[in-house]
Amino acid sequence: MSHLLANLTQFARLLRAAGIPITPAQVADAAAGLAWIDLARREDVQNVCRALWVQHRRHLPLFDRAFDLFWRQQAGAGEQAEIPGPQWTSLRLMMAQEGALAGEGDPEKEPFSAYSAVERLRHKPFTALSAEEMTRVRNLIAGLNWQPPVRRTRRTIPARHGAHFDGRRTLRHSLRYGGEPLRLARRARTHTPRPLILLCDASGSMAPYSRMLLHFAYALSVRLAAVEVFLFSTRLTRVTPHLRRRSIHSALDQIAHHASDLGGGTQIGGALKAFNLRWARRLLHRGAILLLISDGWDRGDPAEISAQMARLHRLAHRLIWLNPHLAAPDYEPLTRGMRAALPHIDHFLPVHNLHSLEQLAALLETLPG
């Protein structure tokens, strides 16, 4: 038995290293559980450990692979198994390209001289910022205040003027007056901020904006509890967990590692379909607000975009499309993708400078609950 426990402990340590959290209590549970079964049946041993240790579906394949690896090695040389760590790549190459693009804008031509420095920055397009200005704008983005509209929940709390009767408190109170219910206690519905879902186009045509938009997404995730962020180019990648990192730099590294298609072509319809199939039912059912950031350049089928946008529009509380080109005086939504999407959009806003993000924050604050 002690040999088994030693093996279990080591196996648990291996799983922890692979990213599956296992408490000592769970190891003890497994030891207790294994006492009930025939240890010669490897499948049962695996099932027992899995039932006690794995708590997320995404961990299942990892667990099964680790189990095979560990017990095979255990049977062989008895060495500690090793799972190859993920190979981190970095976002730096992409960043370097963007840096080059950022230098191209010509600030001399812009009629900003009358504004103060911050005012100038607020209205300067992201694509025209110098490296130093970019840092300052980034800090300003991090400081923006986000107040998404609230949704009335079905949960109630004690409140003086609530709409619901609170029998328990009324009775409690009445005991002080010999059981006479002099005052009716009441309860009111609570309110909770609506979740924000961000679908961000990170294809080649959006590259000049990608960096600032990632900072925007990071700032949102830091400020608000209920934020989900997806990037798409040729496919859809959920980056919410990566943005929960403590520093923006490790967040960006993680994103570059997991979304290898960034900077490629665009399949808006395909990305939206992937979102609808896999995520919409899980994320949009509590009155979420959907922010879709894209220039609408698309190589796919406009009919697909139209169908998927219609579905998104039905599921989301509000659908807001942010387009970096919208601010250009001669812009007209003529791209096929944009035209297909327009009928299904609640709000169409620009997203090319700090001021446009402030406008978005202001819109969110004024949206009815």
Partner 1 sequence: MPPLPATIDDLQTALAGQRYMAERSLTTAIFLALKLGKPLFLEGEAGVGKTEAAKVLAALLKRPLIRLQCYEGLDINTAVYEWNYARQLLHIRLLEAQGKAREAEALENIFGPDFLLKRPLLLALESTPAGPPVLLIDELDRADAEFEAFLLEILSDFQITIPEIGVIRAAAPPVVVITSNRTREIHDALKRRCLYHWIDYPSFEREMEIVLARAPHAPEALARQVVRFAQALRQEELYKAPGVAETLDWIAALVALDQHSLSEAVIADTLGVLLKYQDDIGYVRGGRIPPLLLQARG
Alpha-carbon distances, residue 310 vs 15, 228, 352 (angstroms): 43, 20, 26
Binding residues with partner 1: total (CB under 8 A) = 40
Q: Across the chain, which distance is largest between two alpha carbons, in Å?
A: 82
Instruction: Assess 40 for contact with partner 1 (CB under 8 A).
Output: no
> Of residues 32, 117, 163, 362, which one binds partner 1 by CB under 8 A?
32
| String of contacts with partner 1 for each residue 294-313, x by CB under 8 A | -------------x---x--
CB of 366 closer than 8 Å to CB of 347 = no
Residues near 123 by Cβ (< 8 Å), separated by ≥ 6? 112, 115, 353, 354, 355
Q: Which stretch binds partner 1 (CB under 8 A): 40-48, 86-94, 109-117, 261-269?
A: 40-48
How near is the Cβ of 17 to partner 1 at its closest, in Å?
19
Beta bridge partners of 321: 292, 348
Q: Which is nearer to partner 1, 6 or 277 (CB)?
A: 277
Q: Which stretch binds partner 1 (CB under 8 A): 41-49, 95-103, 241-249, 255-263?
A: 41-49
What span, in angstroms and rounded, lies between the C-alpha atoms of 324 and 296? Answer: 10
Instruction: Assess 181 for contact with partner 1 (CB under 8 A).
Output: yes
> Of residues 9, 10, 170, 234, which one binds partner 1 by CB under 8 A?
170
Whose tokens are 């139209």? That residue is 306
| String of contacts with partner 1 for each residue 137-166, x by CB under 8 A | ----------------xxxx----------
Residues near 337 by Cβ (< 8 Å), separated by ≥ 6? 266, 268, 269, 294, 296, 297, 298, 300, 302, 305
What span, in angstroms and rounded, lies between the C-alpha atoms of 288 and 194? Answer: 5
How near is the Cβ of 259 to partner 1 at its closest, in Å?
21
Q: Which is nearer to partner 1, 52 or 202 (CB)?
A: 52
Q: Which stretch binds partner 1 (CB under 8 A): 200-208, 249-257, 271-279, 336-344?
A: 271-279
Instruction: Assess 57 for contact with partner 1 (CB under 8 A).
Output: yes
**Three-state helix/strand/coil letters over 139-182:** HHHHHCCCCCCEEEEEEEEECCCCCEECHHHHHHHHHHHCCCCC
Q: Which is nearer to partner 1, 55 or 260 (CB)?
A: 55
CB of 296 closer than 8 Å to CB of 338 = yes
Residues of this chain that bind partner 1 (CB under 8 A) = 23, 29, 32-33, 36-38, 43-44, 47-48, 50-52, 54-57, 60, 153-156, 167-168, 170-171, 174-175, 178-179, 181, 273, 276-277, 281-282, 285, 307, 311
